[in-house]
């Protein structure tokens, strides 16, 4: 994925869809991709467990919203946006909320080392109920996917309006 438009908003869904709610971010990206109402400047990507292969894509986008399952101590299916400062605090404070956080921190650091840094970056966290073998989301997380899509669109639209 090279040559993204300058104003592209990347919504990157992370997770493993074989581990129940861990795949929530991927489900959000897929739903956005299949929604005719998703604006053409918003690029939903199923990042799955691709890791470092996402570095250039993250760096080429002006706006990056990562969607991932993360345990932040709320009711299953709850949503929370962590801005870049909050995300750095969670990672640095050894309060791991997502199975992908260590890899995400390395990915973002690599992007910065290569001078790839989005203007706006945040994580849309979805509180999981179950992380175990299985391809279906739990009820509470499945019920939150539509709201997560709306929150993703609202977040990146706000960034675009603010510059």
pLDDT tens by residue, 103-140:
666 666 666 666 667 788 899 999 999 999 999 999 99
pTM for the model? 0.86
Region class of 67: left (phi > 0), else alpha (psi between -120 and 50), else beta: beta
- What's the total number of domains in the chain? 1
Q: Any idea what the CATH number is for the domain that residue 60 is in?
A: 3.40.50.1450
Residue 15 CA to residue 153 CA, distance in Å, equals 19
pLDDT value at position 8?
87
Question: Is 13 part of any domain?
Answer: yes
Which portions of the chain are predicted below pLDDT 70?
1-3, 49, 51, 88-116
Question: Is 4 part of any domain?
Answer: no
């Amino acid at each position: 994925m090279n040559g993204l438009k300058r104003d592209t908003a990347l919504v990157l869904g992370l997770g493993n869809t074989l581990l129940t709610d861990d795949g929530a971010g991927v489900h959000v990206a897929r739903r956005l991709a299949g929604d005719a109402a998703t604006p053409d400047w918003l690029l939903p990507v199923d990042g799955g467990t691709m890791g470092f292969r996402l570095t250039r894509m993250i760096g080429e986008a002006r706006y990056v919203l990562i969607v991932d399952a993360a345990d932040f101590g709320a009711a299953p299916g709850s949503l929370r946006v962590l801005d870049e400062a909050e995300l750095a605090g969670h990672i640095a404070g050894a309060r791991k909320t997502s199975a992908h956080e260590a890899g995400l921190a390395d990915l973002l650091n690599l992007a910065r080392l290569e001078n790839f840094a989005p203007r706006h970056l945040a994580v849309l966290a979805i509180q999981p109920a179950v992380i175990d073998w299985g391809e279906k989301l739990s009820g509470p997380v499945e019920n939150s996917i539509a709201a997560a899509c709306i929150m993703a669109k609202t977040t990146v639209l706000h960034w675009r309006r603010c510059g």
